[in-house]
Structure 1
Amino acid sequence: MGLNRLIPMQPVASMPASVEFYEKLGFSVENRNDEWGWAMLRCGDHRLMVDQSINLHPGIPRTSVLYLYPENLQDFHKRARENGLDIPEVDDTFYDMTEFRIEDPDGNRLWIGQAR
């Protein structure tokens, strides 16, 4: 038994606001359903779903962490800032990564880095 692929689904309060945020990180909309409040986003070969219907179910955790590995961290960092996101400085970690951390509009955490 194996998997063909794994696509994270982020719980969001507003799919349109989340789409706008992730577009500033270089994602594009592959599929979108405004009636459901759901969208499939794509960045290269990678996909991410955002879904506001998850918030309709009480007791389900609302935050997660995605670790993104861009091809070039410095370029990715620069582009995100140029696109208007409030991005902290890049930092070296004790676990041999260079990274920065941000949150999407719903508090889902994004750690973005590359090996030193």
Structure 2
Amino acid sequence: MKFEPIVPLIWTHHLNETVAFYTEKLGFHLGNYSEEWGWATLHRDACELMVSRPTAQTRFEHPFFTGTFYIKTDDVSALWDHVKDSVKVAYPMEDFDWGMREFAIYDNNHYILQFGQELE
């Protein structure tokens, strides 16, 4: 038995704005998109994300998640330089005792995205 990578599915009332945030700010590519279903997939390298409007059966008032989405990258400094002036920053770039250089931002829905790279 083999597990595959986890693919988060985030809910939003703002599907088009969310697709624009991830494609324009973070360089994701739009995969599948259905206005009728209120759903899209976004990809960048090995990272995948699904975005969906809540359905009538979904109890959803506003975005919530009790953690963060942590994305490892091979050049966190370049990504930081690219996004820091155009997004809401949760915390700036920092080197941590546990051996990671990372920063965190908020997406347009207020979900927290952390980006990290192992220190050499």
- With the length of structure 1 as denominator, give the TM-score of the two structures: 0.83
Q: Which runs of 5+ in 1 are unaligned?
A: none
Q: Which residue of 2 aligns with 1:26?
A: 27
Q: Which structure's residues are more often helix, by fraction?
A: 1
Q: Distance in 2 between matches of 1:59 and 1:40?
A: 20
Matched residue of 2:48: which SS? strand
Shift of 1:75: 0.9
How many aligned residue pairs are there? 115
Higher relative contact order (CA 8 A, sep 6+): 1
Matched residue of 1:110: which SS? strand
Q: Which residue of 2 aligns with 1:73?
A: 76
Alignment root-mean-square deviation, CA: 2.4
Residues 29 and 39 of structure 1 are in contact (CA less than 8 Å); yes or no, is this contact kept in structure 2? Answer: yes
Q: Distance in 1 between matches of 2:75 and 2:100?
A: 13
Q: Which residue of 2 aligns with 1:43?
A: 44
Superposed CA offset, 1:59-109 (max 9, x none): 797325210112201111122246x32445311223221111111122211
Q: Distance in 2 between matches of 1:55 and 1:105?
A: 23
**What fraction of aligned residue pairs are identical, expressed as a percent?**
26
Is 1:2 paired with 2:25?
A: no
